[in-house]
């Protein structure tokens, strides 16, 4: 199983289609970025509710800016900004899920963000968070974990209980970016289709070098080839940055002001609970025996982050990068 060869082959087979899709996504994000920044000034994060930027929603938005509003990773509403006015949008789907998972009274419609209905909506989820002595029940536990990871990455210091860990998620106007890629890795092998990087981040090491960090998260006590997934997504990013005409524009969108370095290093990070450590070590060993981590002068570094989920945070057993600084 040589994932480097398989991923490269899949890229070359569909390169024209992939580039077209990537160009569409990039154009939507670049055109929407200034509007998103201006729209973002119209409202603030309202913990525990978090605002996300979705490539899909940006592409669909024409005369307005559309955001995903989430509670511990689960979308509970949408926010849209038009002509400086912020509106809370609750669809039938939102209403059904909010009732099922959080016991929020069924409600569908459009509500002014500063109005009474929206204030009650924010207050409900604030109280729901504070009244929970453990993790809130949501449709996707992985999304809940992902939300807490992003929250930790956005902290100033003491992230994940690790001293000196400098890492930030890739964001637009402070909103996490849900970044899709044209190769799916959900089976642990590269396939044509949309994949989603759980978290795309930038990490600064002790050598002061900042690199892209691709995180593949698994819910507690589960394991399903995350090392292979993280590797495939990291290699796909290398293909995007190196082998498309707009690689430098993507690099800039990811928050880098300098040109793409001659030798690009991307981290592939597996985030799992410690009881899955043996499975992770076995998969990592198999990958290192059968595939390449040095790709035409660029490299992928594979790490494992063993986490413990707490009610409002995520902690690491130790610094996952400590041996390779």
pLDDT in tens, 110-166: 999 989 999 999 999 988 887 655 566 777 888 889 888 998 998 888 899 998 999
State residue 324 phi and psi, 5-degree precision.
Answer: -125, 20
CA-nearest of 78, 324, 90, 111 to 211 is 324
CA-nearest of 62, 92, 94, 65 to 77 is 94
State yes or no: pLDDT of 325 exceeds 70. Answer: no
Name, in order, each residue with C-beta under 8 angstroms of 5's C-beta and a sequence gap of 6 or more.
291
- What residue spans define the domains of the chain? 3-29+141-324, 42-131
Greatest CA separation for the chain: 60
Spell out a b/e string for 310-320, using b for 16 or more CB atoms within 10 Å of the CB, else e: eeeebebeebb
pTM to 2 decimal places: 0.88
Q: Please give the Cα distance from 87 to 238 (Å, whole number).
A: 38
Q: Helix (H, G, I), strand (E, B), or coil: what is residue 18? A: helix
E-strand stretches of the chain: 49-54, 65-71, 74-82, 85-90, 109-112, 166-169, 171-172, 175-178, 180-184, 191-196, 199-204, 210-217, 265-272, 294-295, 298-309, 314-316
Q: What is the pLDDT of residues 236-285, one digit of tens each?
A: 999 999 999 999 999 999 999 999 999 999 999 999 999 999 999 999 99
Q: Please give the Cα distance from 133 to 311 (Å, whole number).
A: 7
Summary mean pLDDT of the chain: 89
Of residues 142 and 55, the one with the higher pLDDT is 142
Residue 238 pLDDT: 97
* Mean pLDDT calculated for residue range 303-311: 92
Residue 63 pLDDT: 55
CA-nearest of 224, 239, 176 to 22 is 239
* Mean pLDDT calculated for residue range 193-200: 91
């Amino acid at each position: 199983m040589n994932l480097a060869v398989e991923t490269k082959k899949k890229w070359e087979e569909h390169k024209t289609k992939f580039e077209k899709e990537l160009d569409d996504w990039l154009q939507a994000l670049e055109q929407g970025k200034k509007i998103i920044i201006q729209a973002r000034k119209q409202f603030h994060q309202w913990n525990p509710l978090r605002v996300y930027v979705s490539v899909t929603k940006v592409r669909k938005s024409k005369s307005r800016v559309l955001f995903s509003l989430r509670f511990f990773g689960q979308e509970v509403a949408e926010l849209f900004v038009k002509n400086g006015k912020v509106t809370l949008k609750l669809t039938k789907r939102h209403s059904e899920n909010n009732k099922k998972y959080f016991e929020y009274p069924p409600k569908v419609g459009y509500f002014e963000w500063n109005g009474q209905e929206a204030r009650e909506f924010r207050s409900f989820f604030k109280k729901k968070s504070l009244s929970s002595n453990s993790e809130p029940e949501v449709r996707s536990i992985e999304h809940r974990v992902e939300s807490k990871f992003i929250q930790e990455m956005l902290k100033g210091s003491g992230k994940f209980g690790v001293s000196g860990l400098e890492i930030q998620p890739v964001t637009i106007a402070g909103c996490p970016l849900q970044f899709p890629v044209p190769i799916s890795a959900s089976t642990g092998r590269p396939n044509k289709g949309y994949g989603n990087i759980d978290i795309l981040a930038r990490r600064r090491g002790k050598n002061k070098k900042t690199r892209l960090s691709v995180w593949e998260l698994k819910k507690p006590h589960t394991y399903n080839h995350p090392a292979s997934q993280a590797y495939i997504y990291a290699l796909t990013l290398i293909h995007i940055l190196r082998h498309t005409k707009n690689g430098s524009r993507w690099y800039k969108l990811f928050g880098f002001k300098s040109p793409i370095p001659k030798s690009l290093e991307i981290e592939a990070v597996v985030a799992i609970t410690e009881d899955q450590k043996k499975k992770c070590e076995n998969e990592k060993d198999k990958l290192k025996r059968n595939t390449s981590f040095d790709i035409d002068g660029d490299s992928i570094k594979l790490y494992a982050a063993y986490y413990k989920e707490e009610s409002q945070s995520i902690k690491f057993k130790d610094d996952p990068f400590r041996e390779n600084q």
